[in-house]
Structure 1
Amino acid sequence: MFPHSAPREVLFICSSNADRSIMAEAILRASGAGYINAHSAGLRPTGTVNSLALRELGRRGYPTDGLSSKPLSIFLSGQGQSIDHVIFLCRKAASAQTWEWSATQKVAIWDIPEPSVAQGSDQDIQAAFAYTCDAVERAIRGFCEECLLDQGIGTQAALSASMKAGQEDTVRLGTSPSINETKALTAGASA
């Protein structure tokens, strides 16, 4: 997928590390297998992964083994130095940060809706998880495309050809924040 010497390390951060960041980790692991190592963490992790997030991922065919809710602190030690991309999945988590990332780390904000706050019938709540998973898939598609562009091989045809077999039907194109858009969001948030 991404022809470079070392896999890129991506860390997804949200408040609880129970659904959005877990979805992002699972989807990027499947999409970038061997070329991108995806991780997730929370500012105040619940310690458990939301079963509805796991169900939605499973329904779409994403592997869920090894997913767990973890604190951000494990990535702020030595392991955090190897992270290439830090992606916040909500502005709340991004604004709550009190640490400095390395100048070589790319930081982005995607502002994905939190499905666990949805109210209504079981069908309404499942629809919220599906909507969030759609949003994460679109954002990851944009992220992968941007990674290909960074390497000078990014075209829609190259991206489509590079996606893991069987993922083309799962990952949907749409309007989602690309790395360039999130750089602008990050700059705007710090202004």
Structure 2
Amino acid sequence: MTRKYKVLFLCRENSARSIIAEALLRELAGHRFDAFSAGPEPAARVHPFAVAQLRPGISDLGVLSPKSWLEFTGEWAPRMDLVIALDDSVDARHAPAFPGAPPSCIWNFADPLAVEISESERVRLFDKVFWQIVRQVSGFIELPEYTTPPSATVNAASICAPIVSAHGATTCDA
């Protein structure tokens, strides 16, 4: 059996952006990736607007749930090949140490839950962020580094360099 790349998406509450990224990576390239998501302050449930965005195309919504990033820090935790923060508040400077010290990247997306806006504006922002994440994940799975099974060592520079955030910024910590 071929080993899959393990990717952990981080977001503060792990109820929207990171859940969307996890679900999309699993759905679009689950044969090559094991996708996970977590955050420092996990919400009680996946946000209903995130579920609404995912429902039309994601086959298994039941596996999605907010989790603490501490679930991925022990000896028993799966060793990630890459950790992707979806905003600056959970990047490598703020995240705990993950087993194997995987490289980390930042994809900055607006937080559709952060600002006090009307429900109709929130729905539009969720839609916008959802499609930004779709584009980012789609581009990520097409990177040549991920077309073959992972090796024992990962070159952080080659993994992070081509990854560009929704705002055009690329960030990598190795």
- TM-score interval, normalised by the smaller of the two chains: 0.7 to 0.9
- Unmatched tracts of structure 1, length 5 or more: 154-177
- C-alpha displacement at 1:98, in angstroms? 4.1
Report if aligned partners of 2:15, 2:42 keep a CA contact under 8 Å in 1: yes
Aligned residues: 157
- Which residue does the alignment assign to 1:17? 14
CA displacement 1:125-145 (0-9 Å, x = unmatched): 111111111111111012101
- Which residue does the alignment assign to 2:161? 180
Greater per-residue helix proportion: 1
CA displacement 1:75-114 (0-9 Å, x = unmatched): 10134452111111111111322426635x2311101111
Distance in structure 2 (CA, Å) of the matches to 1:100 and 1:72: 9
Deviates more, 1:109-118 or 1:9-18: 109-118
CA displacement 1:6-47 (0-9 Å, x = unmatched): 111111111110100000011111011222111100111112
Distance in structure 2 (CA, Å) of the matches to 1:185 and 1:85: 13
Report if aligned partners of 1:47, 1:70 keep a CA contact under 8 Å in 2: no
Q: Provide the aligned C-alpha RMSD in A.
A: 2.5
Distance 1:114 1:143, change over 3 A: same
- Unmatched tracts of structure 2, length 5 or more: 149-158, 165-169
- Which residue does the alignment assign to 2:58? 62
- Which residue does the alignment assign to 1:169? none
Distance in structure 2 (CA, Å) of the matches to 1:121 and 1:40: 27
- C-alpha displacement at 1:151, in angstroms? 5.4
CA displacement 1:43-74 (0-9 Å, x = unmatched): 11112110111011114x12312110110111
Q: Does 1:92 align with 2:89?
A: yes
- TM-score scaled by length of structure 2: 0.79
- C-alpha displacement at 1:152, in angstroms? 6.6
- Which residue does the alignment assign to 1:102? 100
Identity of aligned residues (%): 25
Report if aligned partners of 2:140, 2:163 keep a CA contact under 8 Å in 1: no
- Which residue does the alignment assign to 1:73? 70
Structure 1: 4+ residue segments shifted above 4 A: 181-184
Report if aligned partners of 2:73, 2:99 keep a CA contact under 8 Å in 1: no
- C-alpha displacement at 1:186, in angstroms? 2.6
- TM-score scaled by length of structure 1: 0.72
Distance 1:46 1:62, change over 3 A: same
